[in-house]
Amino acid sequence: MNHLPLMIIDLAVILGAAAISILVFSRLKQPIVLGYLIAGFLVGPNVKLLPTVVDLEGIKLWAEIGVIFLLFGLGLEFSFKKLAKVGKSASIAAGCEVITMIGVGYLLGRAFGWKEMDSLYLGAILSMSSTTIIIRAFEETGLKGKDFASLVFGILIVEDLLAILIMVFLTEISQTGNFAVGNILYLTARLGFFLLVWFLVGIYLLPTLLKNLKKYLSDEILLILSMSFCFLMVYLASKAGFSAALGAFIMGSILAETVEAERIEHLLVNVKNLFAAVFFVSVGMLIDPVILKENFGVVLLITLVTIVGKFIGSGFGAMVSGQGLKKSVQAGMSLAQIGEFSFIIATLGMTLKVTSAFLYPIVIAVSAVTTFTTPYMIKLSGPFYQWVETKMPSTFLQKFGSSKVTSATSSRSNIFGFFWRVYGIFILINSVVVIAITLASVTYLLPFLFSLAGDSAVVRIGAGLFTFFICSPFLAAIILKIPKNLNSGDALKLERGKKFKFSTFSIRFAITYALIVFIVGEFSTRESLFFIVGILLLFFIIGIKSYLRPIYNAIEKRFLENLKHKHA
């Protein structure tokens, strides 16, 4: 007689419980995520009334795959274009909310007598709202098309990006125990570099690849191809020292900019739902009723702090950014819950073994309560604003009323702001490309050449010159190219402002020179040559600019066509 592996039996139990929870909670018109959590609790090792999951390690593997697909799906819904469109209001509101809740959560944990890592993870967990729960609640209440809903969606987009950053910070802090500001800044720069490099590479390559393969892309092939891209990026992120979740999110956000994005999202939805169900049920399996009973008061207090804190943090941030009082109140009350990323952060703490056993069940309980209260918070946001309006002084309402508050300040009077608008992003992108090419050459090309010909000055010079010539179109663009976003007013300002024009060229010259010195330094052991060779190569680039310009223009044209093709 054949014996089924325990993992298969456990998967049958999990999916059976998930199926029943979907039917029950759909009938009750409650969020399905809440049903998954309760189903996991009932089939988990802490409850003996129903068949219990046995192979917990096997289920953890399924749950990790579930996290990858969940983050890949969130990346497909995320978009760098959407992030650019939501503007400063969503960014400021999300930033205020995250900072407020991390601080409040940390202080609350310390007040409970928890250790520092438990308190820090609690703050990070409470800082994230739930995209799934909010979208479902908006659909059920018929408010998805309202003005404040678009602000909420913008805040959620920014939160997704901040969540990735927070996970990187927590991983580093958990492994090193180092809270140094310098280390945090380094991690931020490292993450930003990684995101930008793969976004640029992805947008340059993937849309063209999908376009050339379009006639072969049946639904089956496209699904498998997109999933292979996802796991490839998971591998690359892991090799770079980041989490698998980050790699999945990045690939999802890259594919979100392609013309096949909606089709991929449609094909992935059933796979994502399957593994998301396994993930959320596995989360519910970790609920311990004994711990909940012992910490019942703590759960209620954290729930209250979550609702009030997120309302104040995001609402205040929206007002500071220029949104009116009504929209700020409605947005703040809509975001008063924790969800997907909160579970992932809590799982991270357990995986790294830096959080206590009691934290996870408490977080799940808070999530369950706030999931249940979210639709009512959204429904009551309008009446609550009307009540607040009656209590506010007329002078306050005139300044922060229901209409959007405009700012009188302008960045055009700021020279640095002007320089950043015209040249900043352009120089940043090209500098990142140069650094990425150089690091790739040092990491892969140089060792390969050493294995063939040994470590010698000739090999290093050859590899360095090859890398320099690959980078030369981007170096030439940094120092010489006039960006296309110069309008007539900007051009006139540059034409008349000789001092500003000289300063601009000096900055671009210095950046290009520094990058060339960086390239030379990576392939040479003689520091005395860095600066001399750097100057020679810089003037060499200026001398052959007419040959480099068409190459760069062709690269730039292809990138911009790919970036714009989806919305053409």
Average pLDDT of the segment spanning 263-269: 86
Structure tokens at 531: 């600066």
Cα distances (Å, whole numbers) of residue 495 to 414, 476, 502: 17, 21, 11
**Start-end of CATH 1.20.1530.20 domains in the chain:** 61-381
Asked whether the CA dihedral 443, 188, 202, 512 is positive or negative, the reply is negative
Instruction: Say which DSSP state 215 is in.
Output: G
| Residue 109 banded pLDDT, cuts 50, 70, 90 | very high
Q: What DSSP string runs through 29-87?
A: T--HHHHHHHHHHHHSTT--SS-----HHHHHHHHHHHHHHHHHHHHHH--HHHHHHHH
State the pLDDT at residue 8: 79
DSSP alpha helix (H) spans, 287-424:
289-294, 296-320, 325-334, 340-351, 359-391, 394-399, 415-419
- pLDDT, one tens digit per residue, over 324-381 is 788 888 888 888 888 778 888 888 888 888 888 888 888 888 888 888 788 888 888 8
pLDDT tens-digit readout, 116-154: 899 999 999 999 888 777 876 776 667 766 777 878 888
52's tokens: 């219990």
Q: Is the pLDDT of residue 408 over 50?
A: no
User: In Å, how far are 42, 82, 143, 288, 513 from 313, measured between CA atoms?
Assistant: 35, 23, 22, 31, 44
Give the span between the Cα atoms of 259 and 278, in whole angstroms: 30
Tokens 């311990």 belong to which residue? 288
Number of CB atoms found within 10 A of residue 512's CB: 26
For residues 431-451, give the mean pLDDT.
Answer: 88
pLDDT at 414 over 70: no
pLDDT at position 568 over 70: no
pLDDT at 295: 84
Whole-angstrom distance between the N-terminal and C-terminal Cα of the chain?
60
Task: Give domain 61-381's CATH architecture.
Answer: Up-down Bundle (1.20)
pLDDT of residue 105: 92
Question: Residue 366 in contact with residue 129, Cβ under 8 Å?
Answer: no
Indicate the range of 80-84, 383-387, 409-413, 427-431 predicted with least confidence. Answer: 409-413
The dihedrals phi and psi of 429, each to the nearest 5 degrees, come to -60, -45
Residue 104, CA distances (Å) to 119, 261, 304, 305, 354 in order: 9, 38, 12, 8, 20
Percent of the chain with pLDDT over 70: 83
Identify the CA nearest to 265 among candidates 252, 277, 278, 254. 252
pTM of the complete model: 0.73
- Residues 492-525 have pLDDT tens digits of 455 445 666 677 778 888 888 888 888 888 887 6
Assess contact for 266 and 224: CB atoms under 8 A. no
Distance CA 433, CA 565 (A): 22
Amino acid at 210: L
CA distances from 269 to 137, 144, 248, 251 (A): 19, 21, 15, 16
Helix 32-43 and helix 359-391, axial crossing angle in degrees, nearest 10: 150
Tell me the pLDDT tens digit for each residue of 143-190.
Answer: 766 777 878 888 887 887 788 788 888 887 887 766 666 667 777 777
291-306 residue pLDDT tens: 888 888 898 999 999 9
